[in-house]
């Protein structure tokens, strides 16, 4: 399974507006049908100018992620760039899940 990870540095001057927007944007990405779930996380670093977030989208498959790149990614990416321009910096990585573990407390 592949996780499509988008890490974003958000200028504090637009933080509140961006947070409202990203909570609308994530469901739009999920609506493409290429991902089964997403997690929005705040990266816990001290920075006086920016806040950092990570959005992790769990792709249905490698093929689904490739289809997302081909069919949807550019349009969805442009929405954020148009709205927040140089106040938002994003970089994307792909993570392959090798194994998963959990603890079941009874």
**pLDDT digits over 34-56, tens only?**
999 999 999 998 889 999 999 99
Residue 16 clears pLDDT 80, i.e. is over it: yes
Q: Which residues pair with 35 in a beta bridge?
A: 59
d(CA 56, CA 86): 22
Categorize the per-residue pLDDT at 1 as very low, low, confident or very high, splitting at 50, 70 and 90. Answer: confident
Strands 88-96 and 35-43, sheet pairing: unpaired
Q: How many residues does the chain have?
A: 106
Q: Which domains does the chain have, with CATH numbers?
A: 2-60+70-96 (3.30.70.100)
The pLDDT value recorded for residue 105 is 81
Q: How many CB atoms lie within 10 A of CB 4?
A: 22
d(CA 92, CA 60): 18
In this prediction the pTM is 0.91
**pLDDT digits over 45-94, tens only?**
888 999 999 999 999 999 999 999 999 999 999 999 999 989 999 999 99
């Amino acid at each position: 399974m592949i996780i499509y990870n988008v890490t974003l540095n958000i200028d504090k001057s637009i933080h509140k507006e961006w947070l409202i927007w990203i909570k609308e944007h994530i469901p739009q990405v999920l609506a493409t049908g290429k991902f089964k779930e997403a997690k929005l996380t705040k990266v816990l670093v001290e920075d006086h100018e920016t806040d950092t977030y990570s959005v992790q989208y769990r792709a249905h498959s490698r093929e689904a992620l490739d289809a997302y790149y081909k069919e949807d990614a550019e349009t969805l990416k442009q929405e954020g760039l148009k709205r927040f321009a140089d106040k938002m910096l994003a970089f994307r990585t792909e993570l392959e899940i090798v194994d998963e573990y959990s603890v079941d407390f009874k």
